[in-house]
A and B are shown apart, each in its own frame.
Chain A
Amino acid sequence: MSTVSRALEARTRRMGKQTLRFRLTPAVVAAAAVVGPKEGQGPLGEYFDIIKQDDLLGEKSWERAESRMMAEACRVALRKAGAALGDVDYLIAGDLLNQITSSSFVARELKLPFLGLFGACSTLAEGMAVGAMMLDAGYARAVLVAVSSHHCTAERQYRYPTEFATQPPPTAQWTVTAAGAILMATKGDGPAVTLATVGRIVDAGIKDPLNLGAAMAPAAAATIRQHFEDTGRRPDDYDLIVTGDLANVGKEIAAELLSREGMELEDRLFDCGSSIYDPSQGVEAGASGCGCSAAVFTGYLMHGLLTGRYRRLLLTCTGALFSPTTYQQGETIPGIAHAIALETQDAPGQ
């Protein structure tokens, strides 16, 4: 590399090919999770801020219920931070529905400047990366990142009517009914966002929309590997390497792919999709959906960061970027993963 490009790299806050380094280290000031009943009954139930008693929330459609969960998550995050809507410069949000309407309806309600994202189930990390860039560049002082998914809205859009008598194969994943919101700011206490590795699409040639974990696992492995190559960090620099919603099948594939690259993660690898439900809850391979990594991060993992259980973790959210049209036309499913490094104040120095 030439001296010029080396100097440019230092100035442009880039590390290696795909990683961004944030100098002002935006903090996650507050995070909130609003979940449905099934998620509340799962093993992580105690970590969520609000557990709804039914999937419809008294609304007239699942779609309205999903939007309401996202709006509530935003309000709870603000309340926990002692902030008001007026303190937020931008809402960065996404979900799984066509034209991300769950998010834009929340933006309509909150009346915030709004950037909508679609990264399927990777949207949380994508939103945090975009938010951190805006904060680090001085374009914002506080941003709200919100994502949601709902089992029933996803079923009726991507698969079958909810009352359809279908038998899921063992690779199927249950879409999480949950919304998560994160308030990020350049001033304020909370775990810092220090690095973001923006993923490339990796297409493993999977065509089966009921085997998304396998479709996303190679993308997760590629982004994690790239993160370590770009930053010079090693897996044991992190207390936990989190993947979004690979579930049991995808997690095993990702672990094996990383092991082939010489990275034995073992207990350090944690998958939100394998953790939010108990196997007895009838979810086949595990969970999926934007709300999966969102609820597990804003609830369980944030709790771990705030209580000192984790001092540094890598949050790698994974997405399958397909639609009913593309799989019916026989196209393969592109996978993507974005990674965010989160560190507490007392994390060991580099």
Chain B
Amino acid sequence: MEGAEARATRELIRRATPQRPVVFNGLRAFLVGGVICGVGQIFLRLYRGQGLPLREAATATSGTMILIGALLTGLGVYDRIGRQGGMGAFLPITGFANAIVSPAMEFKREGFILGVGARMFTVAGPVIVYATAVSVAVGAILWLLGRAG
């Protein structure tokens, strides 16, 4: 489409398209994300209480939350939490687990090698790729500045 009519159509579409409920979504993300982190805090306390230093307790907490996210995805519950919580469900590491487990389950019917194995990182892959690249760059800068180690 070209010209004035196309512009008028585009303007109509823009006007008729409902806006995302930014405030409502933000509130839901805050609450759901907050609650998930609250659950994480239970484990962090537990591991700290076992005498683990903060760094190791944090690693153990992440691992535990990944397990919980994987289990809830397997049980078919986590997609519903995500529907409500948006990034509140997706940004916590439980959501990262969901991003790995959900394609693994979904593409099982294409086999364990080319289905599960190959598709597992369709969404989580980019996260690992760029996290690795950025962290190496940050580490290199710190090293050049003499602040690493």
Contacts and interface: CB of A to CB of B under 8 A. Distances in A.
Q: Do chains A and B touch in the complex (CB under 8 A)?
A: yes
Interface of A: 60-61, 156, 160-171, 202-206, 211, 214, 217-218, 249, 252-253, 256-257, 260, 282, 285
Contacts of B12: 253, 256-257
Interface stretch (B43-51, B58-66, B79-87, B134-142): B79-87
Secondary structure of the B contact surface, majority rule:
helix
Contacts of B98: 163-165
B13 A165 contact: no
Given A165-B89, A170-B20, A171-B18, A160 B102 contact: yes
Interface of B: 1, 6, 8-10, 12-13, 16-21, 25, 73, 76, 78-79, 81-87, 89-90, 95, 98-99, 101-103, 105-107, 109, 123
Nearest to A165: B82
B16 A214 contact: yes
23 contacts: A156-B106, A161-B106, A162-B79, A162-B102, A163-B73, A163-B98, A164-B82, A164-B106, A165-B90, A166-B82, A166-B90, A170-B18, A170-B19, A204-B9, A204-B10, A206-B13, A211-B17, A214-B13, A217-B13, A249-B17, A253-B12, A257-B12, A282-B83
Contacts, number: 96
Contact of A218 (B9, B78, B103): B9
Contacts of B9: 204, 218, 257
- With a 10 A CB-CB cut-off, give which of B21, B89, B102, B107 has the most chain A CB atoms: B102
A163 B101 CA distance: 9
Nearest to A285: B18
Nearest to A206: B13
Contacts of B99: 164-165
Contacts of A260: 8
Given A166-B83, A214-B17, A203 B102 contact: no
Contact of A161 (B1, B16, B87, B102): B102
A57 B133 CA distance: 45
A167 B86 contact: yes
- With a 10 A CB-CB cut-off, give which of A61, A165, A204, A206 has the most chain B CB atoms: A165
Nearest to B73: A163
Contacts of B76: 163
Nearest to A202: B1
Contacts of A169: 20
Contacts of B101: 163
